Amino acid sequence: MLESVMMHKRQVRGLTIVELLVGMAVGLFLVASGAMLLGNHLRDQRGLLLEARLMQDLRSAADLITRDLRRAGYWGDAMAGVAASGVPALVNPYAALAPQSAASDAASFRYSRDGTENNVVDSNEEFAYRLRNKAVELQLGAGNWQALTDATLLRVTAFSITPVVQEIALGALCSQPCPAGSATCPPRQQVRSLVVSIKARSVADASINRSVQATVRLRNDTVVGACPV
């Protein structure tokens, strides 16, 4: 009977200060751990969103550049560049392309935009790309530069266009053999490609850096040299 009365008194007394403090410490530890896990999850999720947006912007810019470069040298009157009996061949006025051999952070080219050809390059048929102020810029017509990438979202740290040229000898098409040591014979068909590389970092998080690379095959091959007359 006495023992049950003492147990009842201890139960009525409740928790001690030490037990209460220990419980509060454990509770605060659990809350802090949960908050830390939530913060890490939100930070990782934000990083993934920034990476996805950066890659999307870079791929969109690379796709636009490669589609545009693929038109370089297009001439609606290309048949005029083939010599016929008594009619000399004309030179393609849209053939100018830079860079020709070495990598560069800028490119300039031309292509025909209208159906009527007067063999004169109009001001709206000149195009270019360049890196300026951490953004890739596009030239639409002579002197009309516009930003292709948004400098408030990403900073372009590197932009390069590298030409790759493969030559195919056309000596078998010549009716006469080429003279020894000739630099222009046999004629050669130049199959040209451009490698576009873009590197950028996120403005919101400088630790996020991504790069893309694309290769574009130019549709308009050029022929250098000539067969002996």
Q: Write the CB contacts of 70 (distance below 8 Å, at least 6 apart in sequence).
A: 216, 217, 218, 219
Range of the domain at 59: 48-91+150-224
Q: Is residue 22 part of a domain?
A: no
Gyration radius from the chain CA atoms: 34
Output the pLDDT for position 86. Answer: 64
Q: Is residue 136 part of a domain?
A: no
Output the pLDDT for position 226. Answer: 81
Output the pLDDT for position 21. Answer: 78
User: What total number of domains does the chain contain?
Assistant: 1
Output the pLDDT for position 83. Answer: 58
Asked if 85 and 79 count as a contact pair (C-beta separation under 8 A), the reply is no
Mean confidence (pLDDT) of the chain:
83
Q: Is residue 21 part of a domain?
A: no
pLDDT for 113 beyond 90:
no
Q: Is residue 164 part of a domain?
A: yes
**Average pLDDT, integer, range 207-218:** 93
Q: Is residue 96 part of a domain?
A: no
Q: Is residue 208 part of a domain?
A: yes
Estimate the share of the chain in helix, then strand, then coil, as percent rounded to the nearest 5: 35, 30, 35
Q: Is residue 144 part of a domain?
A: no
Output the pLDDT for position 11. Answer: 54
Q: Is residue 8 part of a domain?
A: no
**Average pLDDT, integer, range 153-167:** 93
Highest mean pLDDT among 17-21, 87-91, 162-166, 175-179: 162-166
Confidence band of 159 (pLDDT split at 50, 70, 90)? very high
Confidence band of 169 (pLDDT split at 50, 70, 90)? confident
Confidence band of 115 (pLDDT split at 50, 70, 90)? low
**Average pLDDT, integer, range 10-27:** 71
Asked if 94 and 121 count as a contact pair (C-beta separation under 8 A), the reply is yes
d(CA 73, CA 81): 13
d(CA 134, CA 124): 26
152 membership: H or E segment, kind and range: none
Predicted confidence (pLDDT) per residue in 43-69, tens digit: 777 778 889 999 999 999 999 999 999
pLDDT for 14 beyond 80:
no
